[in-house]
Structure 1
């Protein structure tokens, strides 16, 4: 476990799932952490779970640039600076043909996943450029980021493809500065976001569950490695990916020998 010298890390969407897992792992590596969520109640609950005086949080609507700026200001007022900013906040839409996805869901996904990442990147890049030593911005990849296609994933996939372009643009924009940018890819993780995609399609979930159990992992398996890689990164434009093509291939080859259920209750 590496020391971070008390680096300050902001994790948007840090009240549950991968975001909360990352916050926990950053704290375990001596970082000071600021999380945000959509409500004060969610933030307070997450902070209680983290149970650290090196953690703080603020209810933040990431689709509102002023609110994201307030999150940056809160982090600086609390811990003095921001060294790492992780744009993790994200939503998914119900799976299905595009015309069947409710318009409100389309707007929510695009606003949180794309506008949220744009706001976080803009605020963080501006703030880091003005502070000594700069800092790191990490944008969270997801299905569609690298051109993957699957029926029923038009809205979410398009949003993540947009985030990929944004991150590539940021890498070029911040070249030869103290602001560094990276791609963060957690792979398939058993979270409410993943399971929620199939709320109205339990039969569909049963069909893909076998593949998820081969390729997927739990939050507590993935986030320690991701946090370690983020804090140890040096190369501008680096991509931290948990599920590589090689790892996926090995898992398929050994699937008959390794029975896994990433969705099973930990108490089972």
Structure 2
């Protein structure tokens, strides 16, 4: 029975991952910045899967002391940690760099890159001490060098995480700790939609692409969890949206009309 810590798991992909780890019999530690939201998610999961399978603690990933507290809480509750997933992240509205506020720039860098670095440091220290464990860092737009106007800061943070993973995979070589990459592809969440003005012509254009390549949380996360639980090698990448899958989606788009955003936009 594996114990899993997932940062940013009160909603979206993180919560979807938590649900599916619990369905697989794992024990899960929920985190988020708001303790009330964490408690609500933990209570719901406890009713569904058992109070002995889930716990949670509020955590801002920009604060290493809070990340350490999550690790300590998990060990105190479940004895050890087998998997740590750095899922917490944020995005910004798409606009040129010079139009972004200094606070927003600092916040996204501190969260998407700094938070991953700090959390990975905590997990590495703990996993080396217990002599086992996997760290999974989340890819996003920019990880593979893709670029778009208005995505300079977000993409730069994700490209940096790719470098971080490759470097750490060399650092953990010869140890019992693994560093791996999780690539969910385009997943329909409020974070994704929040980047756009949904009344704009740009949104109508990009929504067509998202409806071809995107998927819902409940579609992607079971597959990702299965991939994580079947991995036993550092340097592994579990990717949902592969090049081959994207090609087939475009080829069949004319026959497979999808609308992934209606529920979010109505809500």
Deviations 1:141-184 (A, max 9, x none): 00001111111100100111111111111111001110001000
More helix by percentage = 2
Q: Output the TM-score relative to the length of structure 2.
A: 0.95
How much has 1:94 moved relative to structure 2? 1.1
Counterpart CA distance in 1 for 2:107 and 2:44 is 27
Match of 2:43 among 41, 48, 51: 48
In the alignment, structure 1 segments of 5+ residues that lack a partner are: 1-5
Superposed, 1:1-268 pairs within 5 Å as 6-51=1-46, 52=49, 53=51, 54-132=53-131, 134-199=132-197, 202-265=200-263
Give the conservation status (yes or no) of the 8 Å contact 2:198–2:204: no
Structure 1's 200 and 190: CA in aligned 2 closer, same or farther, altered over 3 A?
closer
In the alignment, structure 2 segments of 5+ residues that lack a partner are: none
Give the conservation status (yes or no) of the 8 Å contact 1:95–1:101: no
How much has 1:206 moved relative to structure 2? 1.4
SS at match of 1:256: helix
SS at match of 1:165: helix
Aligned CA-pair RMSD? 1.6
Which residue is equivalent to 1:3? Answer: none
Q: Output the TM-score relative to the length of structure 1.
A: 0.94
How much has 1:35 moved relative to structure 2? 1.3
Residues matched between the structures, number: 262
SS at match of 1:129: helix
How much has 1:77 moved relative to structure 2? 0.6
